[in-house]
Amino acid sequence: MPRARTRLLLLAATFLGGILAGTSVDRVIVGGPAWHELGAAAWLEYSRRADLGAGLVAYPIEGIGAALLAIAATVSNYFDGNRRRGTVLPLYCAAVFSIVGLLLTVKAAPIMLSLAAPQDAAAAQRAFDAFFVWGLYLRGAAETLAFAALVWALSDLYRIE
């Protein structure tokens, strides 16, 4: 059985990764269709108040925190002398998908941050379309895959043989 440090890091990464993935899935499945129906102007106003409000603190904590915890769990597992072999692959997958999510944030964040400045209708529509691709669909997929890999690692870690 891996050390308590690895188990704790994996539990924390899975918890925070689940919040992040759940947010992404909700935004794609529930919020996305509604925003497409309401239009870019309504999304822009909402995003200024939410994403550029409390989201400026909450989302980086979730995204960076989940990635750091996944990487820390992977490194901790690597150094465990008695690690479970079946946990290695899902932890590496979780770390990679978490890093991909952060790299996609490098593309998505400037789009969101640009909304603070006044936008004409065409610019708002371009930002809307680009953010849905980079910030929700692609980054959301990476975050969800990272969470799935963390659950996979967690299930292997506590598997009874």
The position carrying tokens 């209708």 is 121
CB 98 within 8 A of CB 128: no
CB 2 within 8 A of CB 157: yes
Residue 138: the pLDDT is 98
- pTM given for the model: 0.93
Query: What is the distance between the alpha carbons of residues 31 and 34, in angstroms, rounded to a whole number?
Result: 5
In a 13 Å sphere around the CA of 47, the CA atoms on its Cβ side amount to 26
In a 13 Å sphere around the CA of 142, the CA atoms on its Cβ side amount to 20
Residue 3: the pLDDT is 83
Query: What is the distance between the alpha carbons of residues 7 and 82, in angstroms, rounded to a whole number?
Result: 13
One digit per residue, the tens of pLDDT, for the chain of length 161 reads 568 899 999 999 999 999 999 999 999 999 999 999 999 999 999 999 999 999 999 999 999 999 999 999 999 999 987 677 889 999 999 999 999 999 999 999 999 999 999 999 999 999 999 999 999 999 999 999 999 999 999 998 877 65
Q: Residue 52 is part of which domain span?
A: 4-157
Residue 84: the pLDDT is 74
Looking at the 3D structure of the chain, how many domains does it have? 1
CB 81 within 8 A of CB 14: no
Residue 2: the pLDDT is 66
